[in-house]
Amino acid sequence: MTIRVVVTGGTFDKQYNELAGTLTFGETHVEQVLERGRCRLDVAVQVLMMKDSLELQDADRARIVAAVRGCAESQVVITHGTDTMVETARAIASAVTGKTVVLTGAMVPFAFGSSDGLFNLGSALSFAQVLPAGVYVAMNGRWFAWDDVRKNRELGVFEAIRTR
Amino acid sequence: MTIRVVVTGGTFDKQYNELAGTLTFGETHVEQVLERGRCRLDVAVQVLMMKDSLELQDADRARIVAAVRGCAESQVVITHGTDTMVETARAIASAVTGKTVVLTGAMVPFAFGSSDGLFNLGSALSFAQVLPAGVYVAMNGRWFAWDDVRKNRELGVFEAIRTR
Amino acid sequence: MTIRVVVTGGTFDKQYNELAGTLTFGETHVEQVLERGRCRLDVAVQVLMMKDSLELQDADRARIVAAVRGCAESQVVITHGTDTMVETARAIASAVTGKTVVLTGAMVPFAFGSSDGLFNLGSALSFAQVLPAGVYVAMNGRWFAWDDVRKNRELGVFEAIRTR
Amino acid sequence: MTIRVVVTGGTFDKQYNELAGTLTFGETHVEQVLERGRCRLDVAVQVLMMKDSLELQDADRARIVAAVRGCAESQVVITHGTDTMVETARAIASAVTGKTVVLTGAMVPFAFGSSDGLFNLGSALSFAQVLPAGVYVAMNGRWFAWDDVRKNRELGVFEAIRTR
């Protein structure tokens, strides 16, 4: 079983540009994360785009949906900015069936010491292996169905919409 | 749903004693790991012992089994040294039913920069939420049934015994 | 002998605000740096301001000059943004005599893993102990007199103006 | 001006061997430290040996002395284990004149997150540029003459023997 990992950017992959003093995108850090985790899963990493999720357009989401639908794998993990992760999950859910798709990201760039990215990718890859077909968000150690999750921007965490 | 986290020591929790120049145990790092991962699960951390898993005696394993059997929670994650993790998994499997028990650890102490501990705990907590009742090892991003896993000491990774 | 450390902000002290996704100032990291370095110097840390050095006004520089001139110590280290560090050094040199004043900073925030801040503060504190009275910039492991240094913005390093 | 950096091992360069679960030597980390510090000094790094300083024999010290005496540079920094750093300093002082020689090390390996190595090497390289000819120990942000320093093993710090 191979797990497809689709990289779309987001805080997870931001890095500090020391000449400009700004946060930018360079290469993805997903391979570093997998190496750090001594990951031995069969993983196919695909860098689809490197974007802040607030800047994603409909055409970008269409490309993400197409990547998920078109790949050979039935387990897909997507690294994504947290701000519109739920919106992308919804777009995928409306177009993809029969696959387990898990979106994850980070509140702090992996390149910075205090990042949650390593924890989150470990979590997302695990959920992708055992959850039934469907579209999910994996953040804060939890999993959420795509239609029962929102980002609480005040707290910087994800939560269920319905009482559970 | 609360997940019980039973801490037993192992490389995961080792730290550098700069006065002695040796690796020793101090306080557990599990809370730091949960904080780093922005974990929002309901977790009950119990520090049962702080031991190198090569030094675990039958009496130690009996205490671990008793902690798993006796706790109120149905989901249990155990941090454990990798060298005898499989042996402890077997002891639990022979005595506990009706609970999802996931053992994990680390190849490099969490206190050192290059640790897999954050990835592994994210992974183990996720598997504990969705795998059916049983005893498992979660390492290298993968999960293994307690009776189909061994540590490959040459490579420093866990692998299935039977061909899958 | 006590060394005065005057904190003015700059990249050295920037940190990632995970709710806003931006770089901001919070508490200074100078004490953390001193602790990490197991520093046993007698140091008096004074947080004068927390500003990006591109935003420093004449009034801000006047406050820095006054702090250096007014303090009891003869050795002063100043943490400062790199972009206008040389300008502040010049302002101090025009108003302060009889003290060894060393400005330093960082190209990457101390809070991020790959920061040069720990190296630079170790360097600046050392130069402050042995260089004669005067105003200096300490960056890239080197020291520069205030009137023979510029930041090379293309390379992100400091260099002497005159050939040495 | 080129600064010679002689690597002899010590805690500074120890690393965690995840297969054996022990602290060992591999490649030196000095180049990584210089890169992290964005060091722009002209530095010639020479890996002379990789030893715990408690295991240094007279023949090892003779090799260190010969390296310092024989090199073309007048500024020499030596990375060294802390336990017998003072003994090696004494051996150098008895055989070398006309050079500024600064010994430094670390209480925690550079490879671990909480290391003082970056601070100490920044400090030692700075002292080497400005102290007059002589043999010194640079630790804890301070410099000590070779005949007025000892390691306080209870505190894990270096201190002057005579009251200053």
Specify the pLDDT at position B8: 98
Put simply, the answer to whether C41 touches D122 (Cβ < 8 Å) is: no
Min Cα separation C104/chain A (Å): 16
Out of D19, D112, D154, closest to residue B16 by CB: D112
Per-residue pLDDT of B3-37, as tens digits, reads 999 999 999 999 999 999 999 999 999 999 999 99
Is the complex ipTM more than 0.90?
Answer: yes
> Does A33 touch chain B if contact means CB atoms closer than 8 Å?
yes
Out of A40, A124, A158, the one facing B140 most closely (by C-beta) is A40
Number of H helices, E strands in chain D: 4, 10
Mean pLDDT across B32-50? 98
C83-116 pLDDT, tens digit per residue, is 999 999 999 999 999 999 999 999 999 999 899 9
CA distance C23 to chain A (A): 8
For this structure, is A11 an active site residue? yes
Residue D88 DSSP class: H
Model confidence, pTM: 0.95
| pLDDT recorded at residue D118 | 98
C119 and D121 within 8 Å at the Cβ level: the answer is yes
Structure-token match 């009889």, residue found = C98
C19 at the A interface (CB within 8 A)?
yes
pLDDT at D164 exceeding the cut of 70: no
What number of H helices and E strands is found in chain A?
A: 4, 10
D97-127 burial code (b ≥16 CB/10 A, e <16) = eebbbbbbbbbbbbbbbebbbbbbbbbbbbb
Q: Which residues in D lie closer than 8 A to residue C115 (C-beta atoms)?
A: 36
Any idea which residues of C carry the catalytic annotation? 11
pLDDT at residue D19 is higher than 80: yes
Give the per-residue pLDDT at B164.
59
Could you tell me whether strands A2-9 and C42-51 are parallel, antiparallel, or unpaired per DSSP bridges? unpaired
The pLDDT of residue B51 is 98
Q: Residue B113 pLDDT > 90, yes or no?
A: no
- Give D112-149 pLDDT, tens digit per residue: 989 999 999 999 999 999 999 999 999 999 999 999 99
Bridge partners, A7 (sequence order): A47, A79
Question: Does any CB of chain A come closer than 8 Å to the CB of residue B123?
Answer: yes
- Length of chain C as a residue count: 164
Nearest alpha-carbon partner for A105 in A33, A41, A35, A57: A33
> Do A16 and C156 lie within an 8 Å CB cutoff?
no
Alpha-carbon distance of C136 to C49, in angstroms, equals 20
- Chain C residues with CB under 8 Å of A158 CB are none
- Using a CB-CB cut-off of 8 Å, the residues of chain D touching C125 are 123, 141
CB environment A56-89: b (16+ within 10 A), e (fewer): beeebbebbbebbeebebebbbbbbbbbbbbebb
| Percent of chain A at pLDDT exceeding 90 | 96
Q: Within its chain, how far is the Cα of D121 from the centroid?
A: 8
Question: How far off is chain C from D59, nearest CA to CA, in Å?
Answer: 32
Active-site position among D2, D8, D11, D28: D11
pLDDT recorded at residue D113: 82
CA distance D94 to D126: 24
Count of pairs with CB atoms under 8 A, one residue in B, one in D? 39
d(CA A116, CA D5): 37
Q: What is the pLDDT of residue A113?
A: 82
Three-state SS at A95: coil
